[in-house]
């Protein structure tokens, strides 16, 4: 650290222990003291900007974290954070952190990010936690949240948080509720950009529950829709009515097998209406199924201000 190191990237899993349980005693402990108080007290200014750790224990002490204060990026993969208290110690020291990724980390049931710390945080990624039950955000700087995992409690007080990305949970129970889609108008009413990835049939749920919701400020909707045989796209017509100021709609389709029978009926779709704000539509992964053609025609009819529609066969995987 005396050589003004700006980036640390460590993968600390031993090759012979690639199947080691996360609580195994052989898991290495990241030595927080190397970026801690001792060098600061000796007159050395910390220069660390980026910290990426995988397969280790990170348990900072309340008094040995000044070296984390210069971090702008921190990415943790399968890291044992020991407790919520240790996470608070860590985040309280990250005064300049702008990008935080937490993926498959251990020993956390609740994640809380408050205004008292991470005051410059703009992007947060929370993915695939096995124990997580609640995510609480009281933050005035956060702009983008990416969440991937099972259903949890969401508590947001983040006025600048306008971009949200999440796959719809893969459990059958969550499919029936389309979690987290149906929660977002309540917990994130100021949302302007929504990016979803979904592999379930959304028709019945959207028909029964979506018409009662409104995304009042949503301007950009991007859906990555996976299907085995044929896309059910009637839900697009339904969700369009819940987004009155939507300007850009992207449908990224992935259909894995051809289907000989491809019947489409608009009888369950909402009555045609005029969407005055929709300007751009992008549909990728098009394979010529009648459902794809019908939704394209429907969008052309209901969007009088439409300026551009792009359809292409190449499938797009993900925006993040």
Q: What is the mean pLDDT of residues 176-183?
A: 78
In eight-state DSSP terms, residue 58 is: -
Residue 304, number of CB atoms within 10 A of its CB: 10
pLDDT digits 0-9 by tens, 91-131: 988 999 999 999 999 999 999 999 888 999 999 999 999 99
In eight-state DSSP terms, residue 29 is: B
Residue 31, number of CB atoms within 10 A of its CB: 10
CA distance 302 to 273: 6
- Tokens standing for residue 253: 């389709």
The confidence score (pLDDT) of residue 311 equals 95
Coil/strand/helix, residue 86: helix
Domain ranges of the chain: 1-161, 165-320
Sheet holding 280-284, edge to edge: 7-11, 50-57, 73-80, 99-103, 123-127, 144-148, 163-167, 193-198, 220-227, 248-255, 280-284, 308-312
The confidence score (pLDDT) of residue 146 equals 96
Listed residue (300, 237, 224) closest to 265, CA to CA: 237
pLDDT at 172 over 60: no
Q: What is the mean pLDDT of residues 15-27?
A: 55
Alpha helices in the chain (DSSP H): 37-41, 84-93, 172-177, 184-187, 203-209, 234-241, 290-302
Q: Are 133 and 153 contacting, i.e. CB atoms less than 8 angstroms apart?
A: yes
CA distance 225 to 182: 17
Torsion angle of C-alpha atoms 140, 143, 144, 147, degrees rounded to 10: 20
Q: Are 166 and 146 contacting, i.e. CB atoms less than 8 angstroms apart?
A: yes
The confidence score (pLDDT) of residue 161 equals 97
pLDDT digits 0-9 by tens, 234-275: 788 888 889 999 999 999 988 776 654 455 555 556 667 899
Burial (0-12, 13-18, 19+ Cβ within 10 Å), 47: middle
E strand intervals along 106-178: 110-113, 123-127, 134-138, 144-148, 153-157, 163-167
The confidence score (pLDDT) of residue 181 equals 84
pLDDT at 26 over 70: no
Q: Are strands 73-80 and 7-11 parallel, antiparallel or unpaired?
A: unpaired
């Amino acid at each position: 650290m005396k050589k003004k190191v700006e980036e640390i990237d460590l993968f600390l899993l031993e090759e012979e222990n690639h199947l080691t349980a996360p609580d195994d005693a052989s898991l290495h402990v990241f030595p927080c003291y190397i970026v801690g108080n001792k060098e600061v007290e000796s007159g050395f200014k910390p220069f660390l900007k980026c910290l990426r750790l995988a397969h280790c224990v990170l348990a900072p002490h309340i008094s040995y974290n000044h070296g984390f204060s210069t971090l702008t990026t921190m990415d943790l993969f399968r890291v044992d954070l020991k407790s919520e208290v240790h996470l608070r110690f860590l985040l309280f020291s990250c005064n300049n952190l702008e990008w935080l990724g937490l993926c498959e980390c251990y020993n956390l049931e609740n994640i809380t990010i408050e205004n008292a710390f991470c005051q410059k945080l703009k992007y947060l990624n929370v993915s695939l936690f096995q124990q997580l039950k609640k995510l609480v955000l009281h933050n005035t700087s956060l702009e983008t949240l990416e969440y991937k995992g099972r259903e949890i409690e969401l508590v947001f007080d983040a006025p600048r948080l306008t971009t949200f990305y999440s796959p719809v949970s893969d459990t059958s129970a969550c499919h029936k509720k389309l979690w987290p889609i149906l929660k977002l108008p309540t917990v994130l009413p100021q949302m302007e950009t929504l990016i979803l990835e979904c592999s379930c049939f959304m028709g019945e749920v959207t028909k029964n529950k979506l018409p009662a919701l409104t995304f009042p400020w949503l301007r950009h909707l991007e859906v990555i829709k996976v299907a085995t045989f044929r896309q059910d796209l009637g839900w697009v017509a339904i969700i369009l009515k819940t987004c009155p100021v939507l300007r850009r709609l992207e449908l990224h389709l992935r259909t894995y097998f051809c289907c000989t029978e491809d019947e489409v009926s608009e009888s369950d779709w909402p009555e045609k209406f005029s969407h005055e704000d929709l300007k751009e539509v992008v549909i990728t992964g098009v394979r010529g199924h009648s459902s794809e053609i019908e939704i394209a025609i429907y969008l052309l009819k209901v969007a009088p201000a439409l300026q551009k529609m792009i359809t292409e066969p190449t499938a797009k995987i993900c925006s993040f």
